[in-house]
Structure 1
Amino acid sequence: MKPLDADPCVFMVPEENGILKLLVVYVDDTFLLSNDLTWIPTMKTELARQFKPRDLERINYALGIKFTQNEKEGTITMTQRLYVMKLLKRFGMLDCKPAPTPMTPSVKLAKPIKVDEEEMANFSYQMLVGSMMYLAVATRPDIPYAVSFLSQFNPCYTVEHWKAAKRVLRYLKGTMDLALLLHRTGEPILGYADADWGVCVVDRKSYTGFVFKFGGAAISWEAKKQRTVALSSTEAEYMGLTEAAKEAIHLRHFLKEIDGSFTSAIDVYNDNVGAQQLVKNPVLHARTKHIDIRHHFVREACTNG
Structure 2
Amino acid sequence: MLIGAKKKYDIQKLKGLLSAEFEMKDLGAARKILGMEIIRDRERRKRFFSQRSYIQKVLTRFGMSSSKTIDTPNAANIPLTAMFAPQSEEEKEYIGTSDVGLIYGGDTQCLVIGYSDSDYTEDIDTRRSMTGYVFTLGGSVVSWKATL
TM over 0.5: yes
TM-score, normalising length from structure 2?
Answer: 0.62
Query: Are 1:223 and 2:126 matched, yes or no?
Result: no
- Evaluate the alpha carbon distance shift between residue 195 and residue 93 of structure 1 in structure 2; reply closer, same or farther with a 3 A threshold: farther
Deviations 1:202-229 (A, max 9, x none): xxx98864222242322x314387xxxx
Alpha-carbon distance between aligned partners in 2 of 1:196 and 1:83, rounded to the nearest angstrom: 37
Alpha-carbon distance between aligned partners in 2 of 1:188 and 1:222, rounded to the nearest angstrom: 16
- After TM superposition, list the pairs within 5 Å mapping 1:194-233 onto structure 2: 194=117, 209-218=132-141, 220-223=142-145
Alpha-carbon distance between aligned partners in 2 of 1:211 and 1:54, rounded to the nearest angstrom: 39
Alpha-carbon distance between aligned partners in 2 of 1:194 and 1:207, rounded to the nearest angstrom: 8
Report the Cα offset of residue 33 of structure 1. Answer: 1.4
Report the Cα offset of residue 77 of structure 1. Answer: 0.7
Of residues 40-49 and 78-87 in structure 1, the stretch that sits farther from structure 2 once superposed is 40-49
- Evaluate the alpha carbon distance shift between residue 97 and residue 206 of structure 1 in structure 2; reply closer, same or farther with a 3 A threshold: farther
- Evaluate the alpha carbon distance shift between residue 34 and residue 187 of structure 1 in structure 2; reply closer, same or farther with a 3 A threshold: closer
Matched residue type, 1:185: T
Indicate the residue corresponding to 1:38 in structure 2: 9
Unaligned runs of 5+ in 2: 74-97, 121-127
Percent of aligned positions that are identical: 29
- After TM superposition, list the pairs within 5 Å mapping 1:181-260 onto structure 2: 181-183=103-105, 184-185=107-108, 189-194=112-117, 209-218=132-141, 220-223=142-145
Question: Retained in 1: the 8 A contact 2:35–2:51?
Answer: yes
Report the Cα offset of residue 66 of structure 1. Answer: 0.8
- After TM superposition, list the pairs within 5 Å mapping 1:1-305 onto structure 2: 30-101=1-72, 177-183=99-105, 184-185=107-108, 189-194=112-117, 209-218=132-141, 220-223=142-145
For 2:70, what is the secondary structure of its paired residue?
coil
Indicate the residue corresponding to 2:79 in structure 1: none
Report the Cα offset of residue 64 of structure 1. Answer: 0.6
- Root mean square deviation, CA, Å: 3.3
Report the Cα offset of residue 79 of structure 1. Answer: 0.6
Higher CA-based Rg = 1
Question: Retained in 1: the 8 A contact 2:136–2:143?
Answer: no
Question: Retained in 1: the 8 A contact 2:119–2:129?
Answer: yes
Report the Cα offset of residue 186 of structure 1. Answer: 5.2
Report the Cα offset of residue 43 of structure 1. Answer: 1.2
Question: Retained in 2: the 8 A contact 1:69–1:77?
Answer: yes
Question: Retained in 2: the 8 A contact 1:60–1:67?
Answer: yes
Alpha-carbon distance between aligned partners in 2 of 1:94 and 1:182, rounded to the nearest angstrom: 29
Between Structure 1 and Structure 2, the one with more helix by share is: 1
Deviations 1:101-141 (A, max 9, x none): 39xxxxxxxxxxxxxxxxxxxxxxxxxxxxxxxxxxxxxxx
- Evaluate the alpha carbon distance shift between residue 187 and residue 80 of structure 1 in structure 2; reply closer, same or farther with a 3 A threshold: closer
TM-score, normalising length from structure 1?
Answer: 0.33
- Evaluate the alpha carbon distance shift between residue 78 and residue 187 of structure 1 in structure 2; reply closer, same or farther with a 3 A threshold: closer
- Evaluate the alpha carbon distance shift between residue 188 and residue 39 of structure 1 in structure 2; reply closer, same or farther with a 3 A threshold: closer
